[in-house]
A and B are shown apart, each in its own frame.
Chain A
Amino acid sequence: MTTPPGIDAGTFADGLSAMRSAVGDEWVFDQPADLNTYRDFYSVLWGEPEEKLASAAVAPASVEEVQAVVRIANERHIPIYPISTGRNLGYGGSAPVLSGSVVVDLKRMDRVLEVNEDNCSALVEPGVSFFDMYRHLRESGSKLMMSVPDPGWGSLVGNALDSGGGYTVSGYRGHFEAVCGIEAVMADGEVLRTGMGALPGSETWQQYRMGIGPCLDGLFRQSSLGVVTKMGFWMFPTPEAWLSASVSVMRFEDLDELVRIANELEYGNLFNGMPGFSSPVLTQDNPIAMAMVPEPEVMNRMVAESGRPAWSFAPNFYGPERVIREQWAYVKSRFEHIPGVQFAETNFVRLPLSPEDMERVHKPRFGIPSLEIFSVGSRGYGDFNPSDGHIWFSAVIPRSGQGMIEANRVMRSECERLGLDLFMFAPAVTCWTRSFVLFAAVPVYKDGRNAHLRDAVREIIRTCADHGWGEYRCPPAFMDDVMDVYAFGDHKLRRVNESIKDALDPNGIISAGRYGVWPERFRHLRRDGGAA
């Protein structure tokens, strides 16, 4: 039996025995065949001695059982690692960051506790998947639309905690932005409720996020401070209709103006759907991977020869038909001064979707979970087939035309220099309002190519940091590297996080190492040896 780091076999066996008493024999897993299912299937450490593996898994079914498991672990200093549905593929899946931790699998906590139609909110447990929630909403005749990521088999809670995003309306599609109220079991086994949930008898837990004093919700984002057992969400009333459109410009030089006006329109609530920014001429060979942005005269010549626009901005609108058509008319008016600008209405549907419309739309834009995105994968575009998975590189870059061009060129040239393949590349993703996130998907294999991949990604993390760009999220193998470049004030961010960690979890049992925050007892395991 593998034991957690620093825990002797007797203490570990005693801990597992106590956990069996707490949750039932059948919900503690310590046999290799079961633990194999907890591996990070897209791990860049697959099959190597450093692969991050669970020593056991325990699956509580209630808050009380979670409390019991946490107390058992805390008394024995056994490291634990909570997961919601464990489907965060590309970012760690169901494996722990600290190898040898006991995974606390919350999949059995799968109740939708409340959907409040008047408040347009929901309260759910961590095991509720987007598929589960969609079925619940439809079967109950709800008027609400949820925002879903792609693919949609993950957890509402887990995805929000990891800062996942969807495609729908501003304020909702950045999933942590839509959180209102968290319940978490802390390392001492006590239960904390944030916001108005801290006031016994309150009916406003899902109405006012902040409560009184410091707002603590952020402590649980990408963190290691508690086991989240309930989470509230604000939801969007299903709109009457949806309209998507495009604004295309024909010159390299027009991108700055395109982005500047688009930003002003979005920040002024003139459109509410997730906008797209791309380059039709630079995606003509591969629609999901933009080529390197060439020099202006070269790009303008490519535009002339292909007839494809240099850049496109794709606004979209959720709302009553007469409102969103007026909004689109106004949006168009703001770009009419750009020479050669082209406008197109690319799609219009009424909700709920008809069966015919269902076949021609991207379902997640309507809160409908799907796994269709995996079709870009092992048999998708490019020369990477069959690959064994992927990881994401996702850096926050300036939301400007210049920022988009520079990020594209730096990423493309670095990948070429380092020999790193990308099968998806979008330099300006807008799930999170007010930011661009450069998204690059790197194919992963299980045939020994991972060491090179890791070295290349680490170099790109540092190169991006030199430009002022940091990742918003990353696989466990790179969490130390990414946190390390957020270095302002001699790593004050990390040092404060670790002070909080040590204060709230003095035995360092919960999710050690997650996003580069290590408890004192394991700090030497950080990639730099805990030096900084």
Chain B
Amino acid sequence: MRIALAAVATVAVAAGAATAQQAARTGPAAPELEHGKAVYAHWCAPCHADSMGLAGTNSLTIKYEGTDIPAALEDRTDLTAPVIAYFVRNGVAWMPPFRPTEISDADLAALTAYLTAPLDDRGAHAPLLADEMAAMEAAR
């Protein structure tokens, strides 16, 4: 099972089928994607948000240099359910796997729905927690 998923991941990367997100992303996600976006914001964004200070985005910038694959996961259009499940449950490089008590199978399904939805449906990028809290306090 795991070997098969690894093969899927390799094929997806080699194909380089992604396209970079060009248009600015704004607004909320489609209602059915909100849960998945929250899972992404909590568990993925701290390393994979669209910021060069973050380990995941740094690593993927180097990995995909010379391609049109965006470094921030939230901008990817080539991710598939098996690929997302593989990396969440198996980890890669310094990123450890996530346990079912952290990201449940239901959370994983919601995360997958979010990261595979049309970009227009995903809304604005999920904020980092510090930025979200700062914006909340500024609005008080």
> CB-CB contacts of A151-164 with B at 8 A, as 1s and 0s?
00100000000000
Contact A39 B97 (CB under 8 A): yes
**Is B129 close to A, CB under 8 A?**
yes
Contact mask for chain A residues 368-407; partner B; CB cutoff 8 A; 1 contact, 0 none = 1111101101110000001111100000000000000000
Is residue A94 contacting chain B, with contact meaning CB distance below 8 A?
yes
Q: DSSP majority for the B interface?
A: helix
The residue on A at minimum CB distance from B53 is A372
Q: Given the interface contacts A355-B134, A377-B55, does A33 sit within 8 Å of B98 by beta carbon? A: no
Q: How far is the CB of B38 from chain A (nearest CB, A)?
A: 12
Q: Are A369 and B129 in contact (CB under 8 A)?
A: yes
A371 B46 Cβ-Cβ under 8 A:
yes
What CA separation (Å) do A36 and B90 show in the bound complex?
Answer: 7
| Known A-B contacts A93-B96, A107-B99, A131-B42; A375 and B137 likewise in contact (beta carbons under 8 Å) | no
A29-B100, A37-B100 as given contacts; A378 in contact with B133, CB under 8 Å: no
A87 to B137, CA, bound (A): 29
Check B101 against A371 for contact (C-beta < 8 Å). Answer: no
In contact, B46 and A370 (Cβ under 8 angstroms): yes
Asked if B94 and A389 make an inter-chain contact with CB atoms under 8 angstroms apart, the answer reads: yes
Q: Contact at A33–B89, with CB atoms within 8 Å?
A: yes
A352/B137 contact (C-beta < 8 A), A33-B89, A37-B99, A386-B59 known: yes
The answer to the question of A532 belonging to the interface, with a C-beta cut-off of 8 Å to chain B, is no
Q: Contacting chain B: which of A134-142, A194-202, A308-316? A: A134-142
Partner of B58, one of A94, A139, A153, A379: A379
Contact B55 A371 (CB under 8 A): yes
A234 at the interface (CB under 8 A from B): no
Does A379 lie within 8 Å of B101, measured CB to CB?
no
- A346-368: which residues lie under 8 A (CB-CB) from chain B? 352-353, 355, 358, 363, 368
Measured between alpha carbons, how far is A386 from B1 in the docked complex, in Å?
A: 26
Inter-subunit contact A379/B46 (CB<8 Å): no
Q: Counting CB contacts under 8 A, is A149 at the interface?
A: no
B14: interface (CB < 8 Å):
no
- Give, as a whole number of angstroms, the nearest-CB distance from A287 to chain B: 15
A462 within 8 A of B: no
* B residues near A386, Cβ cutoff 8 Å: 59, 93
Residues of B within 8 A of A59 (CB): 101
Q: How far is the CB of B3 from chain A (nearest CB, A)?
A: 12
Task: Kindly provide the distance from the CB of A453 to the nearest chain B CB, expressed in whole angstroms.
Answer: 16
Q: Which residue of B lies closest to A388 (CB)?
A: B93
Contact across chains for A36 and B137 when beta carbons are under 8 A apart: no
- Tally B residues with Cβ within 8 Å of A: 32
Q: Which residues of A contact B1 (CB under 8 A)?
A: 33
Task: Find out whether the CB atom of A379 lies under 8 angstroms from the CB atom of B130.
Answer: no
Shortest CB distance A350–B (Å): 14
Q: Give complex CA distance A53, B98 in Å.
A: 16
Chain A residue with Cβ nearest B46: A371
B45 to chain A minimum Cβ distance, whole angstroms, is 9
Q: Bound complex: CA of A76 vs CA of B111, how far in Å?
A: 39
Residues of B contacting A352 with CB < 8 Å?
134, 137
Q: Is A86 an interface residue (CB 8 A)?
A: yes
Q: A138-B136, A358-B130, A379-B62 are in contact. Are A388 and B46 (CB under 8 A)?
A: no
Cβ-closest chain B residue relative to A446 = B93
Taken residue by residue from 1 to 23, chain B's Cβ proximity to chain A (1 for < 8 Å, 0 otherwise) reads as 11000000000000000000000
Given contacts A36-B89, A134-B133, A353-B134, contact A153 B46 (CB under 8 A): yes
Query: Once the chains bind, are B133 and A36 in contact (CB under 8 Å)?
Result: no
Judge whether B96 and A375 touch: CB under 8 Å: no
Q: Given A33-B89, A368-B130, A377-B94, list of 5 further CB < 8 A pairs?
A: A37-B100, A131-B129, A134-B133, A138-B137, A374-B94
- Chain A residues proximal to chain B, CB less than 8 Å: 27, 29, 33-34, 36-39, 41-42, 57, 59, 85-87, 89, 93-94, 105, 107-108, 131, 134-135, 138-139, 141, 153, 352-353, 355, 358, 363, 368-372, 374-375, 377-379, 386-390
23 sampled A-B residue pairs with Cβ under 8 A: A27-B101, A33-B89, A34-B99, A36-B89, A37-B89, A37-B98, A38-B99, A39-B97, A85-B102, A93-B96, A105-B101, A141-B140, A352-B137, A368-B130, A369-B129, A372-B53, A377-B55, A378-B93, A379-B58, A379-B62, A387-B94, A388-B93, A390-B94
A-B pairs with the 7 shortest C-beta distances? A374-B55, A41-B96, A107-B101, A138-B133, A371-B46, A37-B97, A37-B99
